[in-house]
Amino acid sequence: MRIAISSLSGCGNTTVSRLVAEGLKLHFINYTFRNLAVDLKVPFEKIQTESKTTPKYDYDVDRRQVALIEKTKNCVVGSRLSVWLDDDRIKNKIGVKSPAFDLKVWIYAPLNERAKRISKREKKTFARVLEETLYRDEENEQRYLSLYGINVARFARAVDLTVNTERFSAEQTAELIIACAQKIKTNTKAKK
């Protein structure tokens, strides 16, 4: 089984994705600019800065992420764009076969909740994080529109399940996703 989980920053994507992978005994994939920086032996800050003017790093991250997915049939992929990785718009840009997912999930939380979580995690003031999060959301929305023609604000057409993580803990969110994945697995077996 392959599961894709996406969200905006501060929704708990990495934690939830890891918990789902552990709960279902699946491989966890979360390949980011930080991983790319290590693999390329380039400072993370350089990739972060240059990615604002060139798409090569975004394409490389997505290409490498797809390669990791293709190496395993059973995984949970947690990233901003994972629910779109099977979209032809991404495939056409990165030039590799798109993976198929059995379950695609969008997790979200209101802006203030996300900023509160990031503020606590990064030990910054709420006001500063709120401003940074708004900026980051706008920047990412424009980036993905420019790179792939994908509007992350219109996630509903891309996913099977949406969960508000303000209403559920990371563990409860993972439990909901696991229950959904198990139901899909049962339904798939019943059809055969």
Residue 134: per-residue pLDDT: 92
Residue 6 in contact with residue 155, Cβ under 8 Å? yes
Q: Is the pLDDT of residue 181 over 90?
A: yes
Distance CA 64, CA 91 (A): 12
pLDDT at 151: 87
Position 192 scores a pLDDT of: 67
- pLDDT value, residue 176: 97
Burial 158-182 (b: 16+ CB within 10 A, else e): bbbbebebeebebeebbebbbebbe
Read off the pLDDT of each residue in 22-50 and give the average, rounded to a whole number: 94
Structure tokens at 39: 């693999």
pLDDT at 174 over 90: yes
Residue 72 corresponds to which amino acid?
A: T
Contact criterion met (CB below 8 Å) for 52 and 138: no
pTM of the model: 0.91
Nearest Cα neighbor of 104 from 23, 17, 169 is 17
DSSP line for 142-184: HHHHHHHS--TT--GGG-SEEEETTTS-HHHHHHHHHHHHHHH
User: What percentage of the chain has pLDDT greater than the value 70?
Assistant: 99
Say if CB 23 and CB 174 are below 8 A apart: yes
Name residue 17's amino acid: S
d(CA 23, CA 146): 36
Averaged pLDDT for residues 156-183:
93
Set out the domains of the chain in order of their start, with CATH numbers.
2-174 (3.40.50.300)
Q: Could you read off the pLDDT of 95-147 as tens digits, one per residue?
A: 888 788 999 999 999 999 999 999 999 999 999 999 999 998 998 899 899 99
The mean pLDDT value for 10-19 works out to: 94
